[in-house]
Structure 1
Amino acid sequence: MSGIYIHIPFCKQACHYCDFHFSTSMGKKEAMVNALQNELKMRSGELENETVETIYFGGGTPSVLSSDEINSLIKTVFDEYEVAQNPEVTLEANPDDLSKEKIKELARSPINRLSIGVQSFFEEDLRLMNRAHSAEEALESLKLATDNFDNISLDLIYGIPDMSNARWLENIETALSLGVPHISSYALTVEPQTALASFIKKGLVKNVDDAVAQEHFHILVDRLEKEGFVNYEISNFGKPNYFSRNNTAYWQQKKYLGIGPSAHSFDGTSRAWNINNNPKYIKAIEKGELPLEKEVLSVTDRYNEYVMTGLRTIWGVSLDTIVKDFGENFKKYALRQAEKHIVEHLLYLDGDVLLTTQKGKFLADGLAADLFMLNLSDD
């Protein structure tokens, strides 16, 4: 099984914290949709012997596309690829795009999962992040969406400067009151070259506090688990049968094809990525060229990626898999590096599977980095 990710590189306005590839100019939207369709056709051979289980529209803001544009891209996938009988088809959407009519149009399309970028239900947070929607629009869009879709995820951001524990908990309670079966939640991070980084440097906005973010994370885990959500990946919480099939495939190292400017692909042994420039991407595709670079991953690269993704999930890192895929020396190395974290109750072994403890979960990326094999032989 494999997946297709389609990057829609347009947004109405730039969020202050975002460093993803996008443009606020919609002038090339039609040309971009044509280029995306053509890239899908040009690369169909890469998944020739694969069944596509998930189709995911990410961005940017995919909901700026019309329903006809979205449907044309989905049709191209079905025409050019072998698609599973009941694929998961996800559209990322912003609340301000989800009018009653737009939601009904999407519900009539093959889209069967919405991922709605709420981020916060408080106006002051939305203003700080420069989101295009209001708190009222967020609530209204979710109420309309739950009337038309069963499978809905919403995004929330924690660790926002001046966000108290009480306000963060109120955000969580509001999300729970809407009855959505999936919540993705991320700590606010300060990426270089973003407006947020500039505001912090100038003293206009307080810097983020990792200790506050960690406290917010534990509040989130405790509250959602009481409501039957499973924290199946650090940033993702789903009711049973509502885990994101698309994201789970990434974390379990399944193949996926990335379509569009800046999109990444993975075939099990190599990674490829498209140019992150809209005009250059469109021009290359119009000339019948694929504007991508490719990197063949070494055994060490693949081991490091497996550790990084595995420790973020409830499935953990299997020592048997390490031996089978990378060799006995990698297992010995992983156990040696993990030993001090096991003593500190940040990691633990369940049979042959290495997992983070509740205490260690928020620190998973750092723990994984400590298990990475660096400057060592692959054999």
Structure 2
Amino acid sequence: MHLYLHIPFCKQACHYCDFHFSTSLSQKSSLVDALCQEIILQKDYLPIKSLETIYFGGGTPSLLTEAELVQIFTTIRTHFTVSPTAEITLEANPDDLSVETLHMLRRYVNRLSIGIQTFDEATLRWMNRAHTAIEAESCVWQAREAGFENMSVDLIYGIPNREKTLWQTDLQKALALDVPHLSAYALTIEPDTAFGRWQKKGKLPPADESLAAEQFEELTKALTDKGYEHYEISNFARPEQYARHNTAYWQRRSYLGVGPSAHSYNGFSRQYNVANNARYIAEIRQGRLPAEVEELTVVDQVNEYLLTGLRTQWGCSLSELTTLLGEDFAQKQTHDLAAMYASGWLIRNSNDRLQLTGAGKLFADRVAATLFVE
């Protein structure tokens, strides 16, 4: 079983982010209380009670105090068994990772996912990130000294109006840190963000897809040349050091998500918590789950598997697609599969799995959409 906890607080709003969060910390204590209560309310959501992974996302979970972490873990361990080999990840911002904080976190979690995004000072300011370029590098070395061997760093590419050499510098600095895992995402401009509002006013150009594609190819070459496996479109890892929690999502495993805006999946339905802190706290205090449930049809399950599975190095099993669909998937989608093979974006490997080619990784969503069943 896999557990996700959404911590919806940040010091300040990054100009590109449209995740659910608040920059006011006044409700943090009340929300942690509610989150713990939701863990109790949801303890029977899945039949398995042994946790293989725990993931603190957000928001900025590195804003949690030690007392709050103790409260959360006490609740978790009271109602679930945590595997001795569980991967316990906490997302963190470099400016939160003082030496003291790192040693405190090491007592509770064994993996950090650090939101660096770029090592360039001017770009950090433009994004409205809270950390400095110096902190972006120093926090990784300090985390290693504190005992963290399992770390990931995030980068953003495809940034408009930026010297192309700065992306190459970001890659060089990330590789020099020698972390076992790296995630990289193309900048997307969402409407309800500062960047979205700037773009609407003509102050920011549209995302440059050709630039993003060029930098994605530079990223792929740089990391694979250094021995990283490109195991998911946006994720690279040293051999066998994949993010186990996120891999569970991509491989259709069940998970429980707690906290405002968190999602849960039991194999047959998805559950979505309200993305409003005050409403979430009020409903939980009344013993009610502030969630909507979406029952997944056979078509939903097949198409979700295509959308997530094709993004990974393992691809999609044709036999599993056939089992889900209840009829021969390859036969049903003969025409579309032939078109994708001919495009050079998709192959059917010797293990009877559908996999994207290197060129196909640039068109992952298009390939999946082409193969969707109706």
Q: Which residue in 2 is equivalent to 1:360? A: 360
Unaligned runs of 5+ in 1: 375-379
Equivalents in 2 of 1:124, 1:347: separation in Å? 40
Q: 1:118 aligns with which of 116, 122, 126?
A: 116
Q: Deviations over 1:64-113 (max 9, x none)?
A: 1112212321221111113222110000000111111000111122x000
What SS does structure 2 have at the residue aligned with 1:366?
helix
What does 1:166-205 align with in structure 2 at a 5 Å threshold?
A: 166-205=165-204
TM-score (norm 2): 0.97
Equivalents in 1 of 2:223, 2:77: separation in Å? 36
Q: Which residue in 2 is equivalent to 1:45? A: 44
Q: Which residue in 1 is equivalent to 2:138? A: 140
Unaligned runs of 5+ in 2: none
Q: Deviations over 1:310-367 (max 9, x none)?
A: 1100010111111122222433234431221211111111021111100111210121
Q: Which residue in 2 is equivalent to 1:306? A: 305
Equivalents in 2 of 1:128, 1:200: separation in Å? 14
Equivalents in 2 of 1:333, 1:135: separation in Å? 52
Equivalents in 2 of 1:201, 1:33: separation in Å? 37
Q: Which residue in 1 is equivalent to 2:259? A: 260
What SS does structure 2 have at the residue aligned with 1:83?
strand
Q: Decide which moves more: 119-128 or 201-210.
A: 201-210
Q: Deviations over 1:283-305 (max 9, x none)?
A: 01111111001011000000000
CA distance 1:74–1:155, change in 2 (3 Å): same
Equivalents in 2 of 1:93, 1:349: separation in Å? 39
What does 1:58-73 align with in structure 2 at a 5 Å threshold?
A: 58-73=57-72
Task: Give the fraction of aligned pairs with identical amino acids, expressed as a percent.
Answer: 48
Contact between 1:47 and 1:81, CA under 8 Å: does it hold in 2? no
Contact between 1:308 and 1:365, CA under 8 Å: does it hold in 2? yes
What does 1:226-245 align with in structure 2 at a 5 Å threshold?
A: 226-245=225-244
Q: Deviations over 1:167-223 (max 9, x none)?
A: 211101101111111000000001121110111222222322011001110100101
What does 1:221-370 align with in structure 2 at a 5 Å threshold?
A: 221-351=220-350, 352-370=352-370
Equivalents in 2 of 1:333, 1:311: separation in Å? 18
Contact between 2:232 and 2:311, CA under 8 Å: does it hold in 1? yes
Q: Which residue in 1 is equivalent to 2:218? A: 219
Equivalents in 2 of 1:68, 1:206: separation in Å? 45
Equivalents in 2 of 1:65, 1:54: separation in Å? 19
Q: Which residue in 1 is equivalent to 2:35? A: 36
Equivalents in 2 of 1:50, 1:324: separation in Å? 27
What SS does structure 2 have at the residue aligned with 1:45?
coil
Contact between 2:322 and 2:329, CA under 8 Å: does it hold in 1? yes
Contact between 2:115 and 2:155, CA under 8 Å: does it hold in 1? yes
Contact between 2:2 and 2:51, CA under 8 Å: does it hold in 1? yes
What SS does structure 1 have at the residue aligned with 2:347?
strand
TM-score (norm 1): 0.96
Contact between 2:112 and 2:152, CA under 8 Å: does it hold in 1? yes
Equivalents in 1 of 2:168, 2:366: separation in Å? 26
Contact between 2:330 and 2:337, CA under 8 Å: does it hold in 1? no
What SS does structure 1 have at the residue aligned with 2:135?
helix
Answering whether residue 152 of structure 2 is matched by residue 153 of structure 1, we say yes
Equivalents in 2 of 1:59, 1:334: separation in Å? 38
What SS does structure 2 have at the residue aligned with 1:44?
coil
Equivalents in 1 of 2:338, 2:42: separation in Å? 44
Q: Which residue in 1 is equivalent to 2:126? A: 128
Equivalents in 2 of 1:333, 1:163: separation in Å? 46
The residue type paired with residue 125 of structure 1 is: T
Give the C-alpha shift of residue 123 in structure 1: 1.4
Q: Which residue in 2 is equivalent to 1:23? A: 22
Equivalents in 1 of 2:35, 2:344: separation in Å? 47
The residue type paired with residue 358 of structure 1 is: G
Q: Which residue in 2 is equivalent to 1:377? A: none
Give the C-alpha shift of residue 54 in structure 1: 0.4
Q: Which residue in 2 is equivalent to 1:108? A: 107
What SS does structure 2 have at the residue aligned with 1:144?
helix
What SS does structure 1 have at the residue aligned with 2:6?
strand
Contact between 1:125 and 1:160, CA under 8 Å: does it hold in 2? no
Equivalents in 2 of 1:205, 1:143: separation in Å? 35
Equivalents in 2 of 1:266, 1:287: separation in Å? 24
The residue type paired with residue 257 of structure 1 is: L
Answering whether residue 373 of structure 2 is matched by residue 373 of structure 1, we say yes
CA distance 1:164–1:327, change in 2 (3 Å): farther
